[in-house]
Amino acid sequence: MSLRFRVLGSGSGGNATLVEGGGARVLLDAGLGPRQLAERLASAGVDPASLDAVLLSHEHGDHARGAAAFSAKWGVPLALTTGTFRAAGLAAAKLPAWAEIVAGETHTIRRLAVRAVAVPHDAAAPVAFVVSAGSASLGHATDLGHLSRGLVEALRGCDALLVESNYDPAMLRDGPYPWSLKERILGPFGHLSNEDVGRLLRRGLGEACRTVVLAHLSQKNNHPELALQAAEESLERAGRRDVGVALAPPDGTGWIAVRASRARHGQLRLF
Ligand SMILES: [Zn+2]
Ligand SMILES: [Zn+2]
């Protein structure tokens, strides 16, 4: 069973990731407008109506902006926590259907397993996702103020990781944002810095991980080169030459395949 993903949008302009596996096709977040989402799906060769679900991590506009209109236009159900549903004001929306996601639980869509993991962020009930098809799994974690033990544990078994590398601390401190906003971003319910991601890669990365995608970079408080350099240095220090690292640009990536690593299962292929 194969698993692959493709970032359709990343950063404050709008976040969405397309994931295919286990006979299912889902969007993680829908922070682009419905037309733009449909266009980016078309460039990936995907009919929007063929999606099984749109899963939302939390209600902030850069993750949820297009969700209701996209869902209604293409008849694709939403899946989200009750807290996100309420905070996004979706009770009044004309949705074809929606299903509740519960943090700490694993949900299945066809043969795709999606585990929701609570994350510390200034939203009603935000979650990260661990998506698995067969023995391959992808961890998808954006918008979190710090690396909680529960999240690090959940990501440890993943073969690929998409994680936010939102800001460079010095750029944020010296940058144009008002201090109240800087405090929010730097705080325990804000966003992860390049340094936070570095710590995750040095201390929390599981043996199975082979691919790291840095996402949700701030255009004002970060440079792609700084984020990449911090991640590469951390992997180097951890002796992880087996891990490839890439950036998710604002307008997305191509397809990225997730392969189950032998390390997680301790099995040797004989034939
Ligand atoms: Zn965001
Ligand atoms: Zn957010």
Ligand minimally distant from the alpha carbon of residue 60: 2
Q: How far is CA 133 from CA 10, 49, 130, in A?
A: 23, 21, 10
Residue 271 CA to ligand 1 centre (angstroms): 45
User: What's the Rg (C-alpha) of the chain?
Assistant: 18
Residue 168 CA to ligand 2 centre (angstroms): 17
Ligand minimally distant from the alpha carbon of residue 218: 1
Question: SS3 sequence, the chain?
Answer: CCEEEEEEECCCCCCEEEEEECCEEEEECCCCCHHHHHHHHHHCCCCHHHCCEEECCCCCHHHHCCHHHHHHHHCCCEEECHHHHHHCCHHHCCCCCEEECCCCCEEEECCEEEEEEECCCCCCCCEEEEEEECCEEEEEECCCCCCCHHHHHHHCCCCEEEEECCECHHHHHHCCCCHHHHHHHHCCCCCCEHHHHHHHHHHHCCCCCCEEEEECCCCCCCCHHHHHHHHHHHHHHCCCCCCEEEECCCCCCCCEEECCCHHHHCCCCCC
Identify residues whose C-beta is under 5 A from ligand 1, the ion: 62, 143
pLDDT at 54 over 90: yes
For residue 269, what pLDDT is reported? 55
pLDDT at 71 over 60: yes
Q: Mean pLDDT, to the nearest integer, of 175-204?
A: 96
Is pTM, for the whole model, over 0.75? yes
Residue 73 CA to ligand 2 centre (angstroms): 25
Q: How confident is the model at residue 1 (pLDDT cuts 50, 70, 90)?
A: confident
Ligand minimally distant from the alpha carbon of residue 29: 1
pLDDT at 124 over 60: yes
Q: How confident is the model at residue 266 (pLDDT cuts 50, 70, 90)?
A: low
Residue 134 CA to ligand 1 centre (angstroms): 29
Residue 265 CA to ligand 1 centre (angstroms): 34
Q: How confident is the model at residue 267 (pLDDT cuts 50, 70, 90)?
A: low
pLDDT per position as a tens digit, 217-252: 999 999 999 999 999 999 999 999 999 999 999 999
pLDDT per position as a tens digit, 193-212: 999 999 999 999 999 999 99
Ligand minimally distant from the alpha carbon of residue 62: 1
Q: Mean pLDDT, to the nearest integer, of 128-141?
A: 97
Ligand minimally distant from the alpha carbon of residue 84: 2
Residue 186 CA to ligand 1 centre (angstroms): 14
Residue 184 CA to ligand 1 centre (angstroms): 13
Average pLDDT score over the chain: 95
pLDDT at 268 over 70: no
Number of residues that make up the chain = 271
- Contact criterion met (CB below 8 Å) for 142 and 215: yes
- Contact criterion met (CB below 8 Å) for 102 and 35: no
For residue 262, the number of C-alpha atoms closer than 13 Å in the C-beta half-sphere is 5
pLDDT per position as a tens digit, 24-49: 999 999 999 999 999 999 999 999 99
Residue 263 CA to ligand 1 centre (angstroms): 32
Q: Mean pLDDT, to the nearest integer, of 148-160?
A: 96
Residue 239 CA to ligand 1 centre (angstroms): 31
Residue 17 CA to ligand 1 centre (angstroms): 13
Q: Mean pLDDT, to the nearest integer, of 73-87?
A: 98
pLDDT at 65 over 60: yes
